[in-house]
Amino acid sequence: MARRQSSIILAERHVSMTTNTSTTSLQTVNWRAAIMLPGNPQPLHGRITGASEQQLVGLFPVSVPVKDCRLYLDLLDPERKTHCYVDCRVKITTQTLVGQISQFRVFMQIVELQDEQRRFLLARLPRH
């Protein structure tokens, strides 16, 4: 288990080195996520490891076969002490296989997100 966690941490560090940070700065996060694929009632579960106002980076067990899809984020609301879900439309920009952990790193651009949910998402990003 410790080896798997260290591989995930290495993958997250690699994200910060390989992502174009000139327009946005990704913050390290650990959020549950689900991608809804068109025509498939079962979501593709994964984890978001990097986030900014306009970009997300996640780890998923398989390659995402579409370029445009719905993404649901499971975020904790510390005020209510409940989980809240952010629903957005994303465009898959890049995917790479991370061999050490046998998962795909998926780079996404947020295409559609309601203002209220955007504020909620931004409030959950770590402050540096």
Residue-by-residue pLDDT tens, the chain, 128 positions = 455 454 444 444 444 444 443 346 899 999 999 999 888 889 999 999 999 999 999 999 999 988 899 999 999 887 778 889 999 999 999 999 998 899 999 999 999 999 999 999 999 988 75
* CB half-sphere exposure, 97, CA atoms < 13 A: 4
Domain limits for position 55? 2-124
48 residue type, one letter:
I
Quote the tokens at residue 65: 């076969």
The H or E element containing residue 7 is helix 2-18
Q: How far apart are CA 78 and CA 70, in angstroms?
A: 25
The domain tally of the chain equals 1
User: Maximum CA pair distance of the chain?
Assistant: 40
> CATH number, domain at 73?
2.40.10.220
